[in-house]
Every structure is written in C-alpha cells, then in structure tokens.
Structure 1
Amino acid sequence: MKVLFIGGTGLISEAVSKLAVERGIELYLFNRGQRDEFVPEGAKVIQGDIRHPQEAAEVLDSYEFDVVVDWIAFTPEHVQNDIQLFTGKTKQYIFISSASAYQKPQQNYLITEETPLANPYWQYSRDKIACEQLLLKAYTNSGFPATIVRPSHTYGVTAIPAALTSWAHPWSLVDRIRKGLPVVIHGDGTSLWTLTHNTDFAKGFVGLLGQPGTIGEAVHITSDESLNWNQIYAAIGKAAGHEPQVVHISTDFITAFTPPGTADGLIGDQAVSSVFDNSKIKRLVPEFAATVPFAEGIKRSVEWFEQHPELCTIDTEWGTMVDNLIAKHGVEAKPLSFYV
C-alpha cells in the first residue's frame, strides 16, 4: 500500500507511522519538517504546508495514494480543502475526528459509534462534528471515500495525560507532585475515564488502512481499561515516585475561577464518565487489542522525560493558576491515598 500521512509526527500519529513502516507500508509524510526526530526510518518526507492549499496541490500534483490520512484537519475549511485536493487521487481518505464529539452528557454510560454527536461546551468538538458532516455529505453526493476515526484521550511517551494540566509543558504536573505541591482533581475524582496508549491505537488504526468496508463509516479506537480520576492521578504519582497531594474542586468552580477557555476540554469532555464499546474496531481489525495499561504507559512517559531533561520544562503561569484556584477554593490538600 502507498499511504500519505498529512502530519505523521504528532502525539498519536508518530506511533502509527512507525507501525505502518514496520508492516511494510510505503509511507509518505507531508509536513513542514519540524519534528524530524519522530520520522521513522523508511518513511519518505514530502515537505510542504497543508495550510497553503495551492502550494500543497503543486507539490502533490504528481502523486496518487491508496490511502490519505489527515492528522491535522480541525475545521470544515481544512476538510473542504482536502476534498478538493484528493478527489480522484486516493481510494480512501481517513479523517481524524475526536470522541469528544459524542453527546455530552451522554444518555447511556457506554459509548458506541451510534451515540449521537453533540457537544455544546467545546468549540473544538463542534468543529470536528461539522467536519464529519461535511465528509459524509461528500461521500453521499459524490462518493468521496471517507473513513472517520475517533480517538479518545490518546497519549504516548511525550505526554503526561491528565485533566487540569499544562499541554505545552506536561512535565509541570510531575514536577509539582514531586515537590509536594497540591494538584487539582475535578469533582470527587470518581468519574470514569479512558486513556489509550498511542502504540495500542496504532494497532487498530493500521488495520483500517485500505479496508473498503470502512468507507462511509465512523469508528473509535480506545483501550478497554476505564479508571477513575483518583486512580489515574495515583498512577501518575507512583510513576513519579511521590504520592500526590490533591484538592478536589467542582468543574463549575474550576470554570468560574480560571481564565476563559482553560476548562473547555474539561467541561466538554473529561468531566463526564467515558466508557467505550470497542466491538466495531475489533470486528474490523480482529487482531486489535489494547495491551498497555495506564500504570505501565505513564511509567514509560516519566522515564522518557527523565531521559530528555531539556524537555522537562515548567509552566510557571499554569502553576500560579493552580495555586490561585486552590486558594480561592479554600480547602486544604490531602494525600491521594485518603481517597483511593
């Protein structure tokens, strides 16, 4: 198979790129060349910027692919550009959507691909829904060969996945835990959440490449392990070698006393329990199984950061925000073992 990844070196996609090459796929990465350290040996890099459609069209004009995957399409405009660019040039186009697009709060605790799409709390999710609708319309009206994949909270060694955390400086959370500074867990920490290691996601995703039966379909790929947030933070603490000191604060309070936009992903996704039925991906890719429990995955992440001290950067603004939030809440931190 000849496959094009737009992006291909990000948090989720770098694991997929590596596995695709290992499986013998002829892989091309179209990106700006800013994360070359995550390009697997054997992949071919086409340098360009998909955000400049005319430039991208010129660079890719002579290519055709069995599959095109856009890892960095976030708005209907991005998807419309892809439809124009790849119509007639690929047998399958895979859009990376998001499980946050599912109904919030959902009416049934178990999420399937038939769960309605509706998220009034987070613009990111509404944009993904609009992208899906555009692609399904293109498939219905003109046969554009779209497949939709919905990851949930997927992480790899370059991430310390949590809820109220610093996206740009993920080591900040571990640093805070090791210093004995309090961290915030939303609610009482007992809602369920699903974290998926990118190497597990890759096994399901690579199995979808070139499958004609997935055209016009949507599928999510997640772990079957569901943990509550107290257990998640306990695992992060164990990997960091220090028990977290925590303050439980309601999502409404966090939203009210943090800068605008800070809690959008929290209130629009992570604050509600998310447990996934993975029957569809297992039917499409029978060999798929998620085998990396979070306790193991987060241990790998902490070890990776320790091996890359130049990336153990601290977000002081985020730390100040957490301190101010806890001060406003006025409740003393307790060891997490008090709750677990």
Structure 2
Amino acid sequence: MAMENARNVLVIGGNRYFGKRLIARLRDEGHRVSVLNRGSSPPPDGVEHLVADRDDEHSLTGALGSRVFDVVVDQVCYTPRQAALARRVFSGRTRRYVMTSTVEVYEYEDSPALVREEAVDPAKVTVDLELPWDDPVFLESHYGEGKRQAEAVLAADGPALPYTAVRVAHVLGGDDDFTGRLAHYAERIRTGEPIAVPVANRPATYIHVEEIARFLAWATGETFTGPVNAASHGTLSTEELCEAVAAHVPGGRAVFRPVDVGEVSPFSFRRSYGMDNTRAGRLGFAFADARQWLPRAVAETLGKGD
C-alpha cells in the first residue's frame, strides 16, 4: 500500500507481543519498516531484516551500513549503557528516537493520585555506567532503575538525538501473552487456592496490547520529546482482574489471602501504580477505557476469544 507520507522506521527488537503488532501495523500503514535483532526471529513479510547484537557497537553499525531512518523505535533498551550506545550510533542517523520505557520508573513514587511525567525528570536522574548492568540477575532486580538511567542518558544529549520515552503501563490481552500472570489467577480460581495480596492492595493503570502498539505507531509520526505516559483510562484492582478471570472459570471464585510481608500475586501492589495520561491526550492520542476492554483481554489471553 503506497502512502504519501510514508516513514522509514527501524524497530530494534520487537520479536513478540506488542512489538510484533507494532511492526505489522507500521507495515500495513504503508511505512518502510526494518527490524533489527540477533536473528533468532525473522520479521513478517514485507519487512527488512537486519541482524546484529545491539550491545555490540561494531556489529550494530556494520548491520546498519549507510542506512538512515526517519524514526527508530527501540524496544529493548534496558540500561544506560545501551542508551549511550544508541545515542552514539543514531545521532545524525535518525530524526527521532522512540524508547519504550515503563511504569516501573515510578517505583519510588507512592501516591493515590495518578502520577504525571514530571514526577521522574530524567534530567535529574544520576547515571552510573559502572553498575553491573550486564549481570542478568542485577538487571532483573533493577529493571526500573535501568530504564530511569537509560532515559537520563538520552535526556542529557539534548537536541543531538530528539527522543521520547514511552512509559508503558502494565499490558494485558492477546493470545500470546508470555508472562503467565492472568493464567496464574485462572489456576488459583480453578483450584480454590488462595491468592496472596498485600493487606493494603493498591490499584494500577493498564493498557491493551493492541492499544500500546497503536500508541507507538502514532508516536513515530509525532514530534514531541521527553517522557510520555501510555495508559488506558481508569485504574483496575486485583479484585476486578480476578472477577474478569473468574467469568471464564466455571464455578470459579477468587479467594484472597492478605499478607503483611512476603511474595504476593502478580498485579497486586503495595503501592499505587497509576499513571496520568493527560499529556498524551493533549498531544492528540485517544485512549480507551480499561474496563471496556478488560473482558476481551482476559478472553484472548485465556483462549476463550471468539
């Protein structure tokens, strides 16, 4: 499909879940799409495949050659080292760099009010490139910090690499949700096993897998910079999630076990995880209401969709 304002877009990563939906959406909208990964998963038809290790600057520049892009969407930037490498490689090679960040950058914020982007200003975040970012155990336990510092590296570069960091809410939906979090609830509801939740269990904002793909595709055509929250309207509680799951488990009923300390079930939180989406709305993106798509998301994930 030809498109008058077709963009030349590079997606780094994007092999699964909302990344692959983003790639398909951009392609179907008529944009020229290239995907860069380590070669383990080929992109769909009609998409250029570049094979490289994004952590190896020589490998990355070799795969890119002389290519330039209107937009780069980096789905797999988790650390300040990776952000620094991206800054070196893509400054002058793209007009816009879109990093998928996370609600976890707000892990130290604890307010019943929905949090706005300015609560974590990347320009004020301290960067430590010497931390053991290459250690998978360290990285997993410092996921939010890695994303925060990656944003900070990009913010420090100023106009050399115009960027936005899309802070993504918890994602639900699709028949390929690899996290197993809703399946966790379905199994406990089916067996009657108690679901561990904090004594004070806080709600969170969410976004449907197709909606975040649509948001990222939209962002590739915009010019705004800096952090932006991506979340559907409204918060959801663990109880609401389990009620939606129980509708697909015959005779099922959620039994909750509040705990003061120790491990709790996924999507149950000791602090609020709600993001304010006002900035994205003012920029022109229309979010759906989480309660409207929740039943469909649960049906998709549990294999009960139409």
The TM-score by the shorter chain falls in which range? 0.7 to 0.9
**Aligned residue runs from structure 1 range 24-103, under 5 A:** 24-36=30-42, 39-102=43-106
* Alignment match, 1:310: none
**Aligned residue runs from structure 1 range 213-252, under 5 A:** 214-215=224-225, 217-250=226-259, 252=261
8 Å Cα contact 1:184/1:247 also seen in 2: yes
Whole-angstrom CA distance in 1 between matches of 2:234 and 2:44: 29
Q: Shift of residue 190 of structure 1? A: 4.8
TM-score, reference length from structure 2: 0.81
Residues 120-155 of structure 1, C-alpha deviations (whole Å, 9 max, x = no match): xx621111111111110012xx52212111001013
Local SS of the residue matching 1:46: strand
TM-score, reference length from structure 1: 0.73
8 Å Cα contact 1:234/1:243 also seen in 2: no
Whole-angstrom CA distance in 2 between matches of 1:303 and 1:103: 32
Question: Gaps (5+ residues) in structure 2?
Answer: 1-6, 126-140
* Alignment match, 2:186: 174
**What is the RMSD of the two structures over their aligned residues, measured on CA atoms?**
2.9
Count of equivalent residues: 281
8 Å Cα contact 2:231/2:287 also seen in 1: no
Q: Shift of residue 172 of structure 1? A: 5.2
Whole-angstrom CA distance in 1 between matches of 2:243 and 2:201: 12
Whole-angstrom CA distance in 2 between matches of 1:245 and 1:218: 37
Equivalent position amino acid for 1:250 in 2: V
* Alignment match, 1:11: 17
Whole-angstrom CA distance in 1 between matches of 2:66 and 2:246: 51
Give the structure with the larger helix fraction: 1
* Alignment match, 1:281: 280
Equivalent position amino acid for 1:197 in 2: H
- Measured at CA, do residues 66 and 182 of structure 1 come closer, stay the same or move farther in structure 2, by a change above 3 Å? same
8 Å Cα contact 1:109/1:274 also seen in 2: no
Whole-angstrom CA distance in 1 between matches of 2:258 and 2:83: 38
Equivalent position amino acid for 1:135 in 2: L
* Alignment match, 1:159: 177
Percent identical? 21
- Measured at CA, do residues 115 and 25 of structure 1 come closer, stay the same or move farther in structure 2, by a change above 3 Å? same
Residues 310-338 of structure 1, C-alpha deviations (whole Å, 9 max, x = no match): xxxxxxxxxxxxxxxxxxxxxxxxxxxxx
* Alignment match, 2:302: 302
Verify: 1:187 aligned to 2:206, yes or no. Answer: no
Residues 257-310 of structure 1, C-alpha deviations (whole Å, 9 max, x = no match): xxxxxx9x87xx933223332121122234554576212111111117x99xxx
Verify: 1:130 aligned to 2:139, yes or no. Answer: no
Question: Gaps (5+ residues) in structure 1?
Answer: 256-262, 308-340
